[in-house]
Amino acid sequence: MLSQKLQQKLLQKLSPQQILLMKLLQIPSIALEQRIKQEIEENPALEDFSDPESPGDTAEQLPETEPDPVEELDKERDDFDITDYLDDDDIPAYRLNSNNSSADDEHRDIPYASGVSFHEMLISQLGLRKLDERQVQIATYIIGNLDDAGYLNRNLNAMVDDLAFTQNITTTPAELNEMLRVVQEFDPPGVGARDLRECLLIQLRRFDPQTAATRLAIHLIERYFEELSKKHYDKIAKKARVSEEELREAVNEILKLNPKPGNSVGETSRPNHTIMPDFFIYSKDGDLELQINSRNMPELRLSRTYVDMLEAYSESKSKSSSQKEAVMFIRQKIDSAKWFIDAIKQRQNTLQVTMEAIMQYQHEYFLTGDETKLRPMILKDIAEIVGLDISTVSRVANSKYVQTPYGTFLLKSFFSESMSTDSGEEVSTREIKKILSDCIEAEEKGKPLTDEQLTDILKEKGYNIARRTVAKYREQLNIPVARLRKEL
């Protein structure tokens, strides 16, 4: 049944300008440059003033045409005033040009390294072996099934079926195992292993000459691999009937091995992604100076050609329907360009005030570089100082880096929760993590500190926290439990 009724709704909608600003805020400087270039390519009304190939002040007028018979009707449908786009008072100079760099800025290119991939390097070694075409195909298939760490995680029987269906090669697990042995002789040592135990044994057996420590290491991995992985050195020494010194030498040989041989090649062949800081903080005579990274940012302005088109339209006595459509297109592009220029300026201003608030909030840390001087800071603290929404501050801190005299850090790392000491003073959880890390670094490696002992040490220092909290902080620092930190 159809019915008509009146109702009121309260809705909150973001304007296109606000959506554009929010998107620009959350991308770092290295991605902003690409975003600006994309906008210049998509919007012909936006120009890069620093580009020598930009059209500059060349004017392009619309051709004269005969008056349209329905001109009077079109005039009634006009929903904008052409003077809004030609009046100098409405388009001030700061909206036509955006200078994001200065003469003192350094323009640096980011170097990228390229090389041969891990699998390509292994396939190239096949040419050094005397193999027939069938063997090369099988070995190539095995190499293609290796993961990035260099391990073969597939069952040989399943690979036999795949070779039969995909490449019409009839083989057996024994033949596959024989070709796997060939691949395991390739560099880097340990490649082609099916588990960590086999990977370590392949590397140890390639040692030349074989020392007593190497032979003992092979024996320990073959017989006591599970105890080694859990660092039960007392049990191993008793079962293997070796002295502590002999065990230490064998374990040291094992520690020299690479548990992920494929990663060593993958890291060198992967392009180097250089971090480009979004902010620079300098310390001069006890004062802090903040600079926003605006390197390699183009100078933006409205295209003079498009402004001239509007002028030509306003001076034209005859206005055809095709001209009106063209002007509507020009107006849309100029509006979009002005919004983008304003959004870039507003982005820079928002970054400036937010980072200044963070710098002043953590003033003592940025002066000394001492992590114990970090104050507890959450997004709400900064949002209240700068008068912005918490989500806006979160977008500013997202994927942004700041370069300080003590290193380059992710901006989000300066935000931490607070915890009260026995004296009632609020401290940052990052300060507690720093003390926890220092305690573990200074511990006796033969008898590492357990979580209970670390909890007692922190309580002695005035930090009353539970053992499970210590374990959580230790895991966040990527520090293993005491048993796995034990050394001979």
- In tens, the pLDDT along 207-222 reads 888 899 999 999 999 9
Helix (H, G, I), strand (E, B) or coil at 194: coil
Q: What is the pLDDT of residues 164-181, one digit of tens each?
A: 898 888 889 999 999 999
Residue 273 in this model has a pLDDT that exceeds 70: no
Q: What is the pLDDT of residues 228-245, one digit of tens each?
A: 888 888 888 898 888 989
Residue 469 in this model has a pLDDT that exceeds 80: yes
Q: pLDDT: is 452 or 24 the higher one?
A: 452
**β-strand 401-404 against 300-302: which pairing, if any?**
unpaired
For the chain, the domains span 16-101+293-351, 118-268, 418-485
Could you tell me if 326 and 60 are in contact, meaning their C-beta atoms sit under 8 angstroms apart? Answer: no
pLDDT at position 70:
37
Nearest to 278 by CA among 297, 262, 263: 297
Angle at 126 between CA 125 and CA 131, to 5 degrees: 150
Could you tell me if 353 and 385 are in contact, meaning their C-beta atoms sit under 8 angstroms apart? Answer: no
Please tell me the number of Cα atoms within 13 Å of 74 on its side-chain side. 15
Q: 324-327 long-range contacts, Cβ below 8 Å, gap at least 24?
A: 324/74, 324/78, 326/62, 327/82
Q: What is the pLDDT of residues 7-61, one digit of tens each?
A: 887 766 667 777 887 888 888 877 888 888 888 888 888 887 765 555 554 433 3
Determine what percent of the chain is predicted with pLDDT higher than 90.
14
Q: Looking up tokens 């003992």, which residue turns up?
A: 216
Q: Which of 129-138, 293-302, 451-460 has the lowest mean pLDDT?
A: 293-302
pLDDT at position 60:
39
pLDDT at position 68:
42
d(Cα 118, Cα 448) in Å, to the nearest integer? 38
Residue 435 in this model has a pLDDT that exceeds 60: yes
Mean of pLDDT values over 125-142? 89
pLDDT band at 114; cut points 50, 70, 90: low
Q: 455-458 long-range contacts, Cβ below 8 Å, gap at least 24?
A: 458/432
Cis check: omega of the bond before 189, within 30 degrees of 0: no
pLDDT band at 223; cut points 50, 70, 90: very high
pLDDT at position 193:
92
Q: What is the pLDDT of residues 335-354, one digit of tens each?
A: 888 888 888 888 888 989 99
pLDDT band at 84; cut points 50, 70, 90: low
pLDDT at position 291:
87
Residue 423 in this model has a pLDDT that exceeds 60: yes
Could you tell me if 301 and 50 are in contact, meaning their C-beta atoms sit under 8 angstroms apart? Answer: no
pLDDT at position 66:
40
Within a 10 A sphere around the Cβ of 420, how many other Cβ atoms? 13
d(Cα 335, Cα 328) in Å, to the nearest integer? 11
Helix (H, G, I), strand (E, B) or coil at 57: coil
Residue 67 in this model has a pLDDT that exceeds 60: no
Could you tell me if 48 and 296 are in contact, meaning their C-beta atoms sit under 8 angstroms apart? Answer: no
Q: Compute the mean pLDDT over every residue in the chain, rounded to the nearest whole number.
A: 80
Residue 286 in this model has a pLDDT that exceeds 70: yes
Mean of pLDDT values over 108-134? 76
pLDDT at position 105:
54
Looking at domain 418-485, its CATH class is: mainly alpha
pLDDT at position 319:
66
d(Cα 368, Cα 162) in Å, to the nearest integer? 62
Could you tell me the two tokens for 278? 């979004």
Within a 10 A sphere around the Cβ of 427, how many other Cβ atoms? 19
Could you tell me the two tokens for 453? 């002992």
Please tell me the number of Cα atoms within 13 Å of 169 on its side-chain side. 20
Q: Which of 158-172, 200-214, 404-418 has the lowest mean pLDDT?
A: 404-418
Q: What is the pLDDT of residues 295-340, one digit of tens each?
A: 767 778 888 887 777 777 777 666 677 777 877 888 888 888 888 8
Determine what percent of the chain is predicted with pLDDT higher than 70.
80
